[in-house]
A and B are shown apart, each in its own frame.
Chain A
Amino acid sequence: MHVPDGFLNAPTSLATGAIAAGVVGISLQRASREVRESGPALAGLTAAFVFAVQMVNFPVGAGTSGHLLGGALAAALVGPWTGLLVMSVVLLVQGLLFADGGLTALGTNITLMGAVTVLVGFLVTRGLLRAMPKRLGSVVPAAAVGALVSVPIAALAFTGLYAAGGAVDLSIGRLAAAMVGWHVLIGIGEAVITAAVLSAVVATRPDLVYVARHLQADLVLVDDQGRTTTVSPDRPVAAKPAGRSLGAGVAITLLIAGVVSLFASANPDGLEFVGAKLGFGEAAKESAVAGSPLADYGVSGIGNGHVSGALAGIIGVLVTIGVGLLVAKLASLRRRAESASEPEPASRA
């Protein structure tokens, strides 16, 4: 749903306007390589395609039909930055020409339906493709999951924005539950449609699909008796520098930890609540690290509860990432040592 004027207050609208402008600016730079090679014509035509396809009634089963939002699909087809530009352009046209989405809500709509769906969809798709076998057949499932996840996360982001500047007082917990619940359903529809459309493209022109650029199709070999064997190429894709997507992932995690956590409820969590009710809460002993500077999700020494919580979240994320990288590095060193001592696999007949 396109957010209209007045849903969020003016400061929040202006803030999302700034975020959208920043993200679009970055995309123009990053996509400039892609866009310059094939010109703005390609992005414009893809935007026209997304706009047209959003009107299509896709049958999603049980007699119902759904519509495509397109963020994850765009990311899979033309890449994250061009995809972001494409979705932003669609939203701009809808807002400026069709009055669909408020003029002051353009920043909000671009942030949610442009940036969040495209980037989350892309990160999930790409992450899954890294873990799955490097074959063309992996593209559609990976993108489907990317599409599935992108929609509720955008709904969550909307809830965060609403908590910051919503015009009406609503219980944020209830809003989040309702939004995310409803948008998981929508996400399923999005996943189904994305999978269907993407598999049609992959079947005919996989060379046009951004996320499939370096993947090889399975080869079907026929011998002299007419029997077929399917061989999947197991050559590993050349490792691409993880820097950029890793950076984006870290940025988003930090955003969630630092900002969205501000809206976390101060109420006791499920366990504590039940514990208080049933009386075993007192049995909880002080943890051995209760005295640490980051205990209880706060940074000792910082008075403002919000800042303290946010800072603790950010520090926690950075430490987790640091530890995770260390473990991964150690594991890869170990794997490399092991494989060096293995014999070469016998070549296929």
Chain B
Amino acid sequence: MTGGAGDGLYVAVDSPVHRLPAQVKLVALVGFVICVVSTPAHAFWAFGVYAGIVVALVMTAKLPAATVLRRMTVETPFVVFALLLPFVAAGPQVDVLGVSLSESGVLGAWNVLVKGTLGVVAAIVLSASTSPRDLLTGLERLRLPRTLVAILSFMIRYVSVVSGDLQRMRVARESRGYDGGSLGHLRAVAAGAGALFVRSYERGERVHLAMLARGYTGMMPSMARRQATAAEWRRGAGLVVVALLVAVAARVVGG
């Protein structure tokens, strides 16, 4: 049985973070990250505070550390970029362990790493504590156009089905002795992808027929169940307020 796009991403435990409505979490976490991004890189103490907040969030959401660390590997591409910066950036050089590095490059690397990492963990907290359906509901509540929410919804629903088709094609191909690698095999793989598009398109048409058969006339029904209470909004706002204070202090006080 295939899983959905949110499978393995949503950690199904009960926690205060899980219970918050998705729209509150979205606004709070995005606001938090904006504050992080606006903080000057040399205010090292500020990032210590942010890191503390983020760890507190992970713990409050009862997320297993191993899961969070594993999902953080998505960072790898920009970590590589960050590590290159001290070597390629211009400006005054500084000696680190016998290697001449650009001072602004080192600071820049720190800037990219710390902000990117904090952003990734914030996003992990969001997706691990919110089921895909609730996330869609939250987006709808935040006035994302219904059509866009519907497209997102169908995508999430059918990713597993389409990936399953792709997987079956791959198994069939490998069962016939294809082992991948040479350009001549490109045609086989591409043929599979092309066939996948046709299958997905035709399924899209059939889903549309099924929608028509159940009375769809162009307007998707609303999925949102309840509004967030003022208390819940206050909790989300609290996070942003703290982050804002830190960011402002960092700008005023400096590193």
Segment at the interface with A among B13-21, B52-60, B103-111, B225-233: B103-111
Taking A45-B200, A168-B109 as given, write out 10 further A-B residue pairs in contact, using a Cβ cutoff of 8 Å, ordered by the A residue number.
A13-B34, A58-B190, A59-B183, A60-B183, A89-B152, A99-B123, A103-B29, A105-B119, A167-B41, A208-B201
Q: For the complex, is A57 an interface residue (Cβ under 8 Å from B)? A: yes
Q: Are B115 and A5 in contact (CB under 8 A)?
A: yes
Chain A residues numbered 38-78 whose CB sits less than 8 Å from any CB in chain B: 38-49, 51-53, 55-63, 65, 68, 77
Q: For the complex, is A98 an interface residue (Cβ under 8 Å from B)? A: yes
Chain B residues numbered 70-124 whose CB sits less than 8 Å from any CB in chain A: 71-72, 74-75, 77-78, 81, 85, 88-91, 104-105, 107-109, 111-112, 114-116, 118-120, 122-124
Q: Are B127 and A41 in contact (CB under 8 A)?
A: no
Chain B residues numbered 27-84 whose CB sits less than 8 Å from any CB in chain A: 29-30, 33-34, 36-38, 41, 71-72, 74-75, 77-78, 81
Task: Give the total number of A-B pairs whose CB atoms are below 8 A apart.
Answer: 268
Residues on B facing A (Cβ under 8 Å): 5-6, 9, 29-30, 33-34, 36-38, 41, 71-72, 74-75, 77-78, 81, 85, 88-91, 104-105, 107-109, 111-112, 114-116, 118-120, 122-124, 126-127, 132, 135, 145, 147-148, 150-159, 161-163, 166, 180-183, 185-187, 189-191, 193-198, 200-201, 203-205, 207-208, 211, 216, 218, 220
Q: Are A52 and B85 in contact (CB under 8 A)?
A: no
Ordered by A's residue number, 25 sampled pairs between the chains whose C-beta atoms are within 8 Å are A4-B115, A4-B116, A4-B119, A5-B33, A5-B120, A6-B112, A38-B208, A41-B154, A41-B204, A45-B203, A46-B200, A51-B159, A52-B159, A59-B182, A59-B185, A65-B180, A90-B155, A92-B152, A93-B155, A96-B123, A97-B5, A103-B119, A167-B115, A170-B88, A197-B197
A77 shortest CB reach to chain B, Å: 7
Contacts of A4 in B (CB 8 A): 75, 78, 112, 115-116, 119-120
Most buried by A among B29, B78, B90: B78
A299 shortest CB reach to chain B, Å: 32
Q: Point out the residue from B77, B123, B147 that lies within 8 Å of A95, measured CB to CB.
A: B123
Q: Are A48 and B158 in contact (CB under 8 A)?
A: yes
Contacts of B120 in A (CB 8 A): 4-5, 99, 102
B168 shortest CB reach to chain A, Å: 12
- A196-B29 in contact given A39-B208, A89-B152 (Cβ < 8 Å): no
Contacts of A44 in B (CB 8 A): 150-155, 157-158, 204
Question: Residues of A within 8 Å of B, CB-based: how many?
Answer: 78
Task: Name the residue of chain B whose CB is nearest to the CB of A86.
Answer: B151
Q: Are B36 and A168 in contact (CB under 8 A)?
A: no
Query: When chains A and B are docked, how far (Å) is the Cα of A5 from the Cα of B211?
Result: 39
Segment at the interface with B among A28-36, A144-152, A341-349: A28-36
Segment at the interface with B among A199-207, A212-220, A246-254, A262-270: A199-207
Query: When chains A and B are docked, how far (Å) is the Cα of A41 from the Cα of B208?
Result: 6
Q: Are B147 and A35 in contact (CB under 8 A)?
A: yes
Contacts of A10 in B (CB 8 A): 34, 37-38
Q: Are A196 and B190 in contact (CB under 8 A)?
A: yes
Q: For the complex, is A171 an interface residue (Cβ under 8 Å from B)? A: yes
Q: Are A6 and B37 in contact (CB under 8 A)?
A: yes
Give me the 4 closest cross-chain CB pairs, A-B, nearest first: A44-B154, A6-B115, A200-B194, A5-B119
Task: Name the residue of chain B whose CB is nearest to the CB of A106.
Answer: B30
State the main secondary structure of chain B at its contact with A: helix
Q: Point out the residue from A45, A99, A169, A200 that lies within 8 Å of B195, measured CB to CB.
A: A200
Contacts of A46 in B (CB 8 A): 197, 200-201, 204
Most buried by A among B38, B122, B204: B204
Q: For the complex, is A24 an interface residue (Cβ under 8 Å from B)? A: yes
Q: Are B208 and A52 in contact (CB under 8 A)?
A: no
Q: Are B104 and A167 in contact (CB under 8 A)?
A: no
Q: Are B187 and A196 in contact (CB under 8 A)?
A: yes
B216 shortest CB reach to chain A, Å: 7
Q: Point out the residue from B37, B163, B197, B198 that lies within 8 Å of A9, measured CB to CB.
A: B37
A108 shortest CB reach to chain B, Å: 12
Contacts of A28 in B (CB 8 A): 145, 147-148
A74 shortest CB reach to chain B, Å: 10
Query: When chains A and B are docked, how far (Å) is the Cα of A86 from the Cα of B200?
Result: 13
Q: For the complex, is A159 an interface residue (Cβ under 8 Å from B)? A: no
Q: Are B204 and A36 in contact (CB under 8 A)?
A: no
Q: Are B186 and A56 in contact (CB under 8 A)?
A: no
B250 shortest CB reach to chain A, Å: 13
